């Protein structure tokens, strides 16, 4: 299969309040239980990292949920990325105070791209992650915001290259079309984005089997792969996931 370098295996937790939810193509939210319980289970079984995504914070224009981040970080001593409702450097600082190692911005970064440069300058580029929710359109892919619900009209490749220029330390690339389907990832999207940028790219959306994981791991430009539904529903275990290379 692939190389000797380690590709990070990440558990993605989509949350609303303290609950772990899982949408399919950004719709039909399903309540799976307490996010804290899932994060603790994944940590105890050896997951490399966790990304916590508040999937309604930006949609409702509300502040990030620090209490759930704090409860997860208290039990999980691995890198944690927080995404959802980040609209200021103060929010970034609070995220770090509550246990996040990195923050990912999406909706607000589209409204005010300078936030990427500010995070990178003040906290280091490794802290400044940009989430890109990508949806297929006739001439490529467009960026979506508000939890994958609203289009921006901005091409994914244009935005990926811009955030790199602004100092982003990485991209979290999610296929809205594939998210939650468990029928395979959009490998054309993955290949196109990793060929266009030199910063680390973590990919998400659509994995439902170890075969799907292996397809991603063949790509030499990938920094990490994040899984949600496949882990939540037991399509494969954390231990099976982290053993792939």
Provide the whole-model pTM: 0.93
> Which one from 54, 133, 146, 186 is the annotated catalytic residue?
133
Which residues partner with 36 through β-bridges? none
CATH number of 8-243: 3.20.20.70
Query: Which of 198, 146, 113, 142 lies closest to 27, judged by CA?
Result: 146
Q: Where are the beta strands (DSSP E) in the chain?
A: 8-16, 19-24, 27-34, 49-54, 80-83, 102-105, 128-137, 140-145, 150-155, 170-175, 201-204, 224-227
The predicted-structure confidence for 186-245, as pLDDT tens digits, reads as follows 999 999 999 999 999 999 999 999 999 999 999 888 999 999 999 999 999 999 999 998
Residues 55 and 84 sit within 8 Å (Cβ to Cβ)? yes
Residue 80's Cα: distance from chain center in Å? Answer: 11
Cα–Cα dist 117/32, whole Å: 36
Active site residue 133: yes
The predicted-structure confidence for 152-178, as pLDDT tens digits, reads as follows 999 999 999 999 999 999 999 999 999
pLDDT attached to residue 96: 97
Domain extent listing, the chain: 8-243
């Amino acid at each position: 299969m692939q190389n000797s370098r380690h590709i990070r295996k990440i558990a993605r937790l989509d949350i609303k309040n303290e609950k772990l939810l899982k949408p399919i193509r950004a719709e039909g939210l399903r309540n799976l239980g307490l996010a804290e319980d899932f994060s603790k289970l994944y940590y105890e079984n050896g997951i490399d990292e966790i990304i916590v995504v508040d999937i309604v914070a930006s949609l409702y224009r509300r502040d990030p949920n620090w209490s759930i981040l704090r409860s997860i970080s208290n039990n999980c001593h691995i890198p944690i990325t927080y995404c959802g409702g980040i609209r200021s450097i103060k929010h970034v600082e609070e995220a770090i105070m509550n246990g996040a190692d990195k923050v990912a911005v999406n909706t607000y970064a589209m409204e005010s791209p300078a936030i990427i440069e500010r995070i990178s300058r003040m906290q280091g580029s490794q802290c400044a992650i940009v989430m890109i929710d990508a949806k297929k359109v006739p001439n490529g892919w467009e960026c979506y915001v508000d939890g994958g619900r609203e289009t921006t009209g901005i091409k994914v490749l244009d935005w990926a290259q811009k955030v790199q220029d602004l100092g982003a330390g990485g991209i979290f690339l999610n296929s809205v079309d594939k998210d939650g389907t468990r029928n395979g990832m959009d490998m054309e999207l993955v290949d196109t984005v990793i060929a266009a940028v030199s910063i680390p790219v973590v990919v998400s959306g659509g994995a439902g089997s170890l075969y799907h994981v292996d397809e991603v791991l063949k790509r030499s430009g990938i920094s990490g792969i994040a899984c949600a539904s496949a882990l939540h529903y037991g399509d494969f275990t954390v231990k099976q996931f982290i053993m792939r290379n």
